[in-house]
Chains A and B, each alone.
Chain A
Amino acid sequence: MKTASIRSIRFIIFIALAIIAILALYPLIYMAFSSMKPTLEYIKHPMAPPQTWYFDNFQALIYRFSLVRLFGNTILYVGLSMVACLLISIPAAYSFAKLKYRFRNEFYVVMIATMTIPGVTFIIPNYLLMSKIGWTDHIVSVVVIWAVSAVPSTVFLLTSLMRGMPDEVLEAIKMDGAKYYQAMTKIILPMSLPGVVTVSIFNATNWWNDLLTPLIYLQSDNLKTVTVAVATVLNRFSSDYPLLLSGLLLASLPPIAIYIIFQGYIRKGLVVGAVK
């Protein structure tokens, strides 16, 4: 009797989760469908499955853009930003979460405060700054802006998670006279890995979709990111939405792949296993 009711509860849970899954998959399906429609068919039946296999949109994108370069650029920028952001954020988060010193809370609040101004207001001052340093039209500008602007939220998430780490483990290693570096690599990093992966996924997807930063800071065609390139698909005189959607679909495949690979690191019991 009890197992039967548990089973039926689990079935209801399954159905609920499945419905949400369909909702979540819907945009992707819609993009895939639309990308295979000629413009006219899309106008006529925007939601229906495509009537034929029509790959011209992808062909147009492949012919038009040097996709390898675009994807390579974007992966490079996102990768460098991720490394830079984590290198800055992990020590800061550890410091906020586990070390005790005066004004710790004040520093923490200041860091969170930097998240509360909309990014649009930073564009012009930062661009002027970059152009004075001579970093405009240079990948450094995008990497720095991405990495630095993600630091507060990254530190914030990591701090929240690190606070949950059992103090005993840390105390134990402190007693052992371990050095900062060892404490970092042996304990802090492995224990906060799920958090690090999570926040890196957030950052990477945000950066990948960011149109404004690379658009404004970079100019040369050979430095462009995928998202900027896709935004140039339509101009004032055209309304080929399937083409735009094909571009957006193509651009979102790598982040989907990255996500699927990395989310494997967020596993039940991972933390405990690592510490043992």
Chain B
Amino acid sequence: MRFKRGSVISISLIIVLSLMLGACSKGTNESASTGGDADKKIKIVFWNSGYATIDENNKSKKKEDFYISQAVARYEAAHPNIKIDVQDVPSGDELFAKFQTASIAKNGPDMTVLWSGSYMLRFKQFLEPMDPYFTSEERSRIVGWSATTEDFTVDGKAYGVPFGTDGTFLLAYNKKIFADAGVDPIAQRPKNFQEFVAMLEKIKSKNVTPLGLFKDSFLHVPDYWIAQTVDTPGLDSLVKGTSNFSDPKLVNIMKGWHELFAKDLVIADDSVRQLFIQGQLGMTVGANSDITNFSEAMGDNMGFMKIPDFSEDVKVHDGGPGGVGAAFVVTNYSEHAKETADFIKFLMSKEEQINKIKSGEARITVVNDVDVNEYVSDPLVKTMQDLANEPSTIFWPDNVYPAELTSEMMSLQSLVSRGKMTAEEFMKKIDQKRDELLKSKSK
């Protein structure tokens, strides 16, 4: 056993070598991509989580055919000193984790697309304020700034630029089932929660489950009812603690949420799209993409309406949750914030927004100088764009609450719907959580 030490060392050497081998293969990569940059090109790194990288409607597109690739090509042709490096990343939780980690080490991207509102404002310490880069004219042709500003007002300090809109969240209904039950949801649109329940009960009497919801539909229905009752400034004061969730008006909403389940008017799981298309459900909630799918599958048998008001004395009538769900952000550690902002302006320009619609990858837009109807023929899309632009569309309340409050609400709400927690308890818990958050923030 005399050479054993040598053997161990040689093994360690092999490890080091194999790692260095990896290093070399990367090294050649890098020199290849940076070799041509002797003339000091500005490189902007864009973590793309927003633009389509696969087109659901046209699966024979190649990477260079996609809108974002073409837009980048156009921009680079017009600005030869700039190179845009588009790196596709997943959206949602994975992106948040990646963005958070990379930003802490200050080697994240120059720009990316994050969910708007508090999801994005959580990273405020890494984001470049956009106000210096956008003139008021440039701002006024883009709608939805309230989703990107610190205080959720249209002209507050913006940490991002509206990217795209989810449209308005709607209720889709099966016309035949409703006709059989003798209900016309449009002509006899329920004016309050009681009428809504009465309508659903009529459907139920025909042995059809009246309403299908998703597991997270708290965001789509009762949370919206809360928002329409107090309006956006009201939400802000709920968050700031100047008013309380335990307000009896709001507690009633949670009671209503429980009632829908207690009276067996609802099923809530991921199969509701399937059941609705098969005609086993009277109504279901849906975003624009769902409505399009339903219309394709059911033709004229599908109708849609806005979510009924919770009561007559709400502040916002006949609206729906939705709006600008995602925003461009520029990082404050970026060395080329100015150039990055210019690129975002280019993407938001009238011509580029038209190009984007024409590419078929986006149906509705957030700029007010482009009429979608000129470029698409589908009347359904036109209707949805109109709904999205109505002022009664309220920005997703969960994007207004601090992320922790939303996650607490989402965790607890299902206890209410199942009758394991009363509406009062729920609201009290939410108030408590909010106070806790305010306290730890002021510390």
- Residues on A facing B (Cβ under 8 Å): 39-40, 43-46, 56-57, 59-61, 63-65, 76, 80, 83-84, 87-88, 91, 123-124, 127-128, 131, 136-140, 143-144, 177-181, 184, 211-212, 215-216, 219-223, 228-229, 231-240, 243
Contacts and interface: CB of A to CB of B under 8 A. Distances in A.
A40 B296 contact: yes
B53 A64 contact: yes
Contact of A84 (B2, B18, B101, B102): B18
Given A40-B297, A237-B164, A139 B101 contact: no
Interface stretch (B90-98, B236-244, B430-438): B90-98
10 nearest A-B pairs in the assembled complex, by CB-CB distance: A180-B4, A60-B59, A131-B105, A56-B59, A231-B90, A232-B88, A181-B7, A235-B91, A63-B62, A240-B56
A147 to B, nearest CB: 9
A233 B60 contact: no
A233 B408 CA distance: 29
Contact of A237 (B14, B21, B289): B289
A229 B54 CA distance: 12
Contacts of B14: 87
Contact of A140 (B22, B62, B166): B22
Q: For the complex, would chain B's binding face be called helix, strand, loop or mixed by DSSP majority?
A: mixed
B160 to A, nearest CB: 14
A144 B19 contact: yes
In the complex, which of the residues B26, B104, B274, B289 has the most CB atoms of chain A within 10 Å of its own CB atom?
A: B26
Interface residues of B, number: 64
Nearest to A222: B29
B163 to A, nearest CB: 10
Contacts of A233: 53-54
B98 to A, nearest CB: 5
A88 to B, nearest CB: 7
Interface of B: 1-4, 7-8, 11, 14-15, 18-19, 21-23, 25-26, 29, 45, 47, 49-50, 52-56, 59-63, 85-92, 94, 97-98, 101-102, 104-105, 107, 109, 115, 164, 166, 271, 273-274, 277-278, 289-290, 293, 296-297, 325-326, 362
Contact of A131 (B22, B91, B107, B164): B107
B90 A127 contact: no
A34 to B, nearest CB: 13
Contact of A232 (B45, B53, B105, B274): B53
Contacts of A44: 274, 277-278, 297
Given A43-B277, A140-B22, A181-B3, A235 B52 contact: yes
A249 to B, nearest CB: 15
A136 to B, nearest CB: 6
B275 to A, nearest CB: 10
B89 A232 contact: yes
Nearest to B63: A64
Contacts of A87: 11, 14-15, 18
A76 B91 CA distance: 26
Given A83-B18, A236-B50, A236-B92, A59 B59 contact: yes
A59 B60 contact: yes
B60 A238 contact: no
B3 A180 contact: yes
A118 to B, nearest CB: 14
Given A39-B56, A235-B53, 19 more contacts: A46-B271, A59-B60, A60-B54, A64-B54, A124-B104, A127-B104, A128-B104, A139-B23, A140-B26, A143-B19, A144-B19, A179-B3, A179-B4, A180-B1, A215-B89, A216-B101, A234-B90, A235-B52, A243-B59
A234 B94 CA distance: 12
Contacts of A179: 1-4, 7
A215 B104 contact: no
B65 to A, nearest CB: 8
B47 to A, nearest CB: 8
A24 to B, nearest CB: 24
Contacts of B278: 44
A17 B15 CA distance: 42
